[in-house]
Amino acid sequence: MPAPLTKYDRTVVGGVIIIRDKVLLVQRVDDDFKGGIFELPSGQVEEGEPIDIALRREILEETGLSVTSIGKEGASFQYRSKSGKHTIQRNFLVTDFNGRVRLSPEHSGYLWIPLADLDSDSRVDEQIRRIILSVT
């Protein structure tokens, strides 16, 4: 369980979206913070916004997918944002969704990576791998 949210300047939610034993990763545009990396669809929780609503909103904004069911919470991680804010990213399994991927301008590409290839695919960093494994 992550530390109390009051010690963070900002909370971000991420979705582990799995279909047919493949997980969705989106690639940040090159000129953005951490440009070029593959990550989980994620985004900031607005002031007073419930976590589940934020997760549904962010996934819809970033991928065009409409989340219909959210599963368990997985591993979280902390980082300093580009502006220096102490941030926690809480990650959740998305157990059902509708639609097809249509990326926001924040992302330049996406991949459906087989879960069996997580350890060998160099585009999946250790932190993302740990999150995915924490919900599967």
pLDDT, tens digit (0-9, with 9 covering 90-100), for 104-134: 999 999 999 999 999 999 999 999 999 999 9
- Dihedral pair phi/psi, residue 103, rounded to 5°: -75, 150
- Provide the pLDDT for residue 83: 85
Give the closest residue to 134 by CA, choosing from 48, 64, 50, 72. Answer: 72
- Provide the pLDDT for residue 81: 82
The two structure tokens encoding residue 132: 């995915």
Torsion of CA 17, 78, 109, 58, to 10 degrees: 60
- Provide the pLDDT for residue 1: 42
Give me the helices (H) in the chain, please: 51-63, 126-135
The CATH class that applies to domain 5-135 reads alpha beta
Torsion of CA 26, 99, 129, 82, to 10 degrees: 40
Q: Write the single-letter amino acid at 30.
A: D
Alpha-carbon gap, residue 114 to 129, rounded angstroms: 12
What are the E-state strand segments in 20-127? 22-28, 38-39, 42-44, 66-73, 77-80, 86-98, 107-114
Q: Write the single-letter amino acid at 1.
A: M
Digits of tens for pLDDT over the chain (136 positions)? Answer: 444 445 889 999 999 999 999 999 999 986 766 668 899 999 999 999 999 999 999 999 999 999 999 999 999 999 888 788 899 999 999 999 999 999 999 999 999 999 999 999 999 999 999 999 999 9
